[in-house]
């Protein structure tokens, strides 16, 4: 399920992105750091994305160029992941 929330409501009323349950960096560029957050809203959980300036000279605030923000409902699931790890020696 996708909902749209007003940027000002998210920042001022929900306290996002600071009050998010999860915040992770998804990518970086020369001028910005891109984030994914998960937050609670009306008893359900949603994810959305934002970016902010990568340096103290690069001002960019979350959702600076958006009035309405797309948020997607998510659920917490256990996910099995395979990865390469060092082999233990005897």
Tens digit of pLDDT for each residue in 38-85? 999 999 999 999 999 998 888 899 999 999 999 999 999 999 999 999
* Residue-level pLDDT at 45: 98
Burial of 11 (0-12, 13-18, 19+ CB in 10 A): middle
Instruction: Give the global pTM.
Output: 0.86
pLDDT band at residue 25, thresholds of 50, 70 and 90?
very high
Query: What pairs with residue 2 in β-bridges?
Result: 72
Domain layout of the chain by residue ranges? 2-74
Residue whose token pair is 């306290």: 15
| 50's tokens | 């934002």
Angstrom distance (rounded) from CA 14 to CA 63: 14
């Amino acid at each position: 399920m996708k909902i749209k929330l007003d940027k000002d409501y998210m920042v001022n009323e929900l306290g996002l992105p600071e009050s998010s349950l999860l915040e992770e960096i998804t990518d970086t560029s020369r001028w910005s750091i891109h984030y994914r957050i998960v937050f609670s809203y009306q008893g359900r959980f949603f994810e959305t994305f934002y970016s902010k300036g990568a340096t103290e000279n690069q001002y960019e605030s979350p959702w600076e160029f958006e009035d309405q923000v797309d948020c997607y409902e998510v659920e917490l699931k256990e996910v099995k992941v395979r990865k390469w790890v060092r082999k233990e020696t005897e």
